[in-house]
Structure 1
Amino acid sequence: MELTVKRLSECTLNQAIEVWNKGFEDYYVQIVMTVDTFLARMVAESLSADHSFVAFDGDEPVGIILNGIRTTNGVKTAWNGGTAVAVSHRRHGVARQLLEASIRLYQEEGVSRATLEAFKQNEKAIALYRRMGYEVTDQLVLLESSEAWQSGELPREDYTVRWSGPHEAARLPFYNANAAWQTGWQSLKDGYTVIASDSEGCPVGYALAKRVYDASGEHVSTILYQCVTSPDVTDAGGIVRLLCSEVFAGADALRKRAFNLSKTSVCAEVLTAGGFTVAVEQVKMDKSL
């Protein structure tokens, strides 16, 4: 088998959709896409057709890798937003060639850090990423609940909260730029930031979140992406509970999720205590370039 690797920008949309859906047909979660959902994801998550690759066996697309590049706080970071190989062509080095092409591109583009997430149980993929120089840097969880939010004890200090656009979080000195790619403010163009400040007006914490609406405009779920406090605070748990109470206000009977939080974070601890349960576990992997 002689593989050819092309940039996604050189391929047709139908070729990209075909190989994406073939590669993920037996995956842990359902992520089959249409042309419309594929294009929407590319835009929403800053993925680039020029930076992504498709592998061909002759004229047949058999593997795909989606990549995006962002600069945050002066650090140029590349994200692998999905690697898929058709079942018929696995164990033939297709994924390795796609990763090699991507890493060469990262280097050409001056990327300092490459990052990705993988399902914790996907041991074969994790082993391949390790061979390519990636290391596990964090354990991530997706938490969810459909029960009323149980805030627990809220802080006694006089904090104020305000809502703003997601970009406001990036201006805070304690913004977590190393969080999982999809939880960054750039991926939340239709989301919002809730910022908590102390009695002197100094920001002490923030939450990045999004409300989801159905076709009739009804609020059907709320998703939390980040909830972080300043390293200088003494009541991180209380501030996180305050911010989560703001985010999940009015969503008691609705589906509530927290996406790709660090498993050891204060936020994950607070949400678990408030009735959330683990739905998915992933690992975050990084590679220095």
Structure 2
Amino acid sequence: MPSQRRVRVFGLLLFVFVAITLYMTTSARQTRSSAFYVKTQEALQAREYMEAAKQRDADGVESRLKAAEDDAKKATNAKHEKYLDSVGGGSKENKKSVGGGKFRMQDGDEQKAVPGVATVGGRPRDKLASKEKAKESPEDHEVEVELNAILKKSPIIIFSKSYCPHSKKAKQILLEKYNIVPAPYVVELDEHPLGPKLQETLAEKTGRRTVPNVLVLGMSIGGGSEMQDFDEKDQLVSKIKGIGGSRISKAERKMSQTEMRRRRALRA
């Protein structure tokens, strides 16, 4: 059986424990209800609220910026598609010439342009031509430069061979039966030092391997048979003016000797 001394010690410890517990509880309650504690809690809550508000504002600005960026991209894509439609999606009346300008086709004909070379006074068509030039050999580059130089001689170029009867027919029609200003420029491929390579390049770019090959502003409009057909149907002037536009200052059929004598007789 425990002694009275031990009972008193145990009772004293229990009393101290209870007293300390009551003191701590009371102190905590007083601390939570004190003005300093309340103000500190309010300040912390206000700070948390401000930080949350700033985060919401930042998220809102970011979303608005992203929406504006998306709208700008959509507008740019729409303009790009509209541009592509304007240069590549038109009818036969709105084809692109070699130099990037538009020309009007006559009689529903669809001719092939010489891509990658300049029209009279023009420049290479686009970036694709520059990429292709990067792959050229020195000889190919020389031919390309020479072809550009030839196309600048006149709006109308007749690629011919001096011994070819079909070339002779085309030259006779264009140079003798018609008054064209500027006059067509003739290139005799059999006499040109780069003649064979020029003919290969023209075949690749116009689809016409034979001579004559008549180009108007870089567009192949045919050979001897086509020139004779246009002449007989009285379509050659409209064909040349339709493609050449303002670059052709005059294109008209010359009067024959018979017509000249008839007019003189009527005047007399």
Greater length-normalized contact order (CA 8 Å, ≥ 6 residues apart): 1
Q: Looking at secondary structure, tell me which structure has more helix per residue.
A: 2
Q: TM-score, normalised by structure 1?
A: 0.23
Q: Looking at secondary structure, tell me which structure has more strand per residue.
A: 1
The structure with the largest alpha-carbon Rg is 2
Q: TM-score, normalised by structure 2?
A: 0.24
